[in-house]
Amino acid sequence: MKKLLVIRFSALGDIVMTVPVVYDLATQYPDLEITMLSREMARPLFERMPSNVHFLAADLKGRHKGLLGLCRLWRDAHLNDFDYIADFHDVLRTWWLRADSCLHCKKVAKIDKGRKGKKALTRQKNKVFVQQATSFERYAKVLEQLGFPIKPQFTKLDYSAFCERQKADNETWIGIAPFAKHPAKVYPMEKMEQVIKALNKRENTTVFLFGGGEEEKRQISDLCAKYPNVKTAQSQQGLKGELALMSQLDVMLSMDSANMHLASLVGTRVVSIWGGTHPYAGFLGWNQKPENCVQLDLPCRPCSVYGNKPCLRGDYACMNGITPEQIIKKLGLS
């Protein structure tokens, strides 16, 4: 049996976007043994895969840190046993692993990140406003270069075994993930609270708030105390429990963040809010529809591929200009 290694270390949203591609690879090439090399946090994403998919965790802040750590990673992961290396990340760490693999006569391919097209899309003047290839398409291209073309057939993963709550037939469950890493990707909390307040008044409706950091948990706790129909999505089973909850939602409201992609994995419709970034950069969730994106048509948008650049105007009009009413209407709840 031939062995193929897929490498993607971060960020969580980008790792999540590998799942449909790896799943299709596994089902369409059942005689291929596939190993996903990533961070430990991503392990639950690959536990509901076909039996020919395995997971290896890289400890990039500990044992596998630095050049010496990469040498340990090579040995720990038995990389010499693989016939193919698919680099879905293309950073310095993976460059070293690729180079070492080439020296050991492995067949290697790396992702084309499309930097030129994304730069033209996000530059200040004379933007080239064209849809870029999605990350799913870019990952699939890597596999095609290795001799494993795939057809996009993935639908969703099943995490029902980890459900801690069961929704009644007359209930509406709405998820809200109001956080993101960068300000250009975050809808103002005072406006989001207006959305939450309106949804809290709906009969037979529960709103679940998703977030992970300590400050995020504090804000979620304050909102849950303030609105009786608002609950935390935090699960005793961690990510698997949150995915199980997402699978029961009627709709998820999310920023351009990992939660958009997580909800997409379990087949839930996502209404996503876009500010400094844009779906045209290729990061819309799996099978999500552009018409479910909430965004403003501003000449400065998009200003960034990842949302990590400060607002050129200084007022984040791309987010502040979106009204709570626009978002509530887009949710499409009767």
User: Which tens digit of pLDDT belongs to each residue from 8-32?
Assistant: 999 999 999 999 999 999 999 999 9
**What pLDDT shows up at residue 100?**
76
Structure confidence by residue, pLDDT tens digits, 115-141: 999 999 999 999 999 999 999 999 999
Q: CA gyration radius for the chain?
A: 21
CATH 3.40.50.1240 assigned to domain 3-145? The reply is no
**What pLDDT shows up at residue 298?**
97
**What pLDDT shows up at residue 86?**
97
Structure confidence by residue, pLDDT tens digits, 263-280: 999 999 999 999 999 999
Burial class (CB in 10 A: 0-12, 13-18, 19+), 271: buried
Per-domain residue ranges of the chain: 3-145, 168-331
**What pLDDT shows up at residue 120?**
98
Under the banding of pLDDT at 50, 70 and 90, the label for residue 213 is: confident
**What pLDDT shows up at residue 103?**
64
Whether residue 219 is predicted with pLDDT greater than 90 in this model: the reply is yes
Half-sphere exposure (Cβ direction) of 9: Cα atoms closer than 13 Å: 16
Report in angstroms the alpha-carbon separations of 288 from 236, 261, 266, 271, 283.
28, 9, 12, 9, 10
**What pLDDT shows up at residue 221?**
97
Beta-strand pair 84-87/3-7: parallel
Sequence-distant (6+) residues with CB within 8 A of 290 are 279, 284
Under the banding of pLDDT at 50, 70 and 90, the label for residue 105 is: low
Whether residue 323 is predicted with pLDDT greater than 90 in this model: the reply is yes
Q: Which 3-state string (H, E, C) describes 80-102? A: HHCCEEEECCCCHHHHHHHHHHH
Distance from C-alpha of 330 to C-alpha of 334, rounded to nearest angstrom: 11
User: Collapsing DSSP states into helix, strand and coil, what is residue 254?
Assistant: strand
Under the banding of pLDDT at 50, 70 and 90, the label for residue 222 is: very high
Whether residue 316 is predicted with pLDDT greater than 80 in this model: the reply is yes
Structure confidence by residue, pLDDT tens digits, 246-256: 999 999 999 99
* Same fold for the pair 3-145 and 168-331: yes
Structure confidence by residue, pLDDT tens digits, 182-205: 999 999 999 999 999 999 999 999
Q: Picking from 84-88, 97-101, 177-181, 324-328, which range would have the lowest pLDDT averaged per residue?
A: 97-101
Whether residue 296 is predicted with pLDDT greater than 90 in this model: the reply is yes
Distance from C-alpha of 16 to C-alpha of 304, rounded to nearest angstrom: 21
Whether residue 334 is predicted with pLDDT greater than 80 in this model: the reply is no
Q: Could you say which of 3.90.1170.40, 2.170.190.11, 1.10.10.10, 3.40.50.2000 is the CATH number of the domain covering 168-331? A: 3.40.50.2000
- Tokens linked to 104: 């050991």
Report in angstroms the alpha-carbon separations of 215 from 35, 117, 212, 219.
35, 36, 8, 6
Whether residue 102 is predicted with pLDDT greater than 80 in this model: the reply is no
Identify the residue whose tokens are 């300590």: 214
Burial class (CB in 10 A: 0-12, 13-18, 19+), 313: exposed
According to DSSP, the residues that pair with 236 across neighbouring strands are none
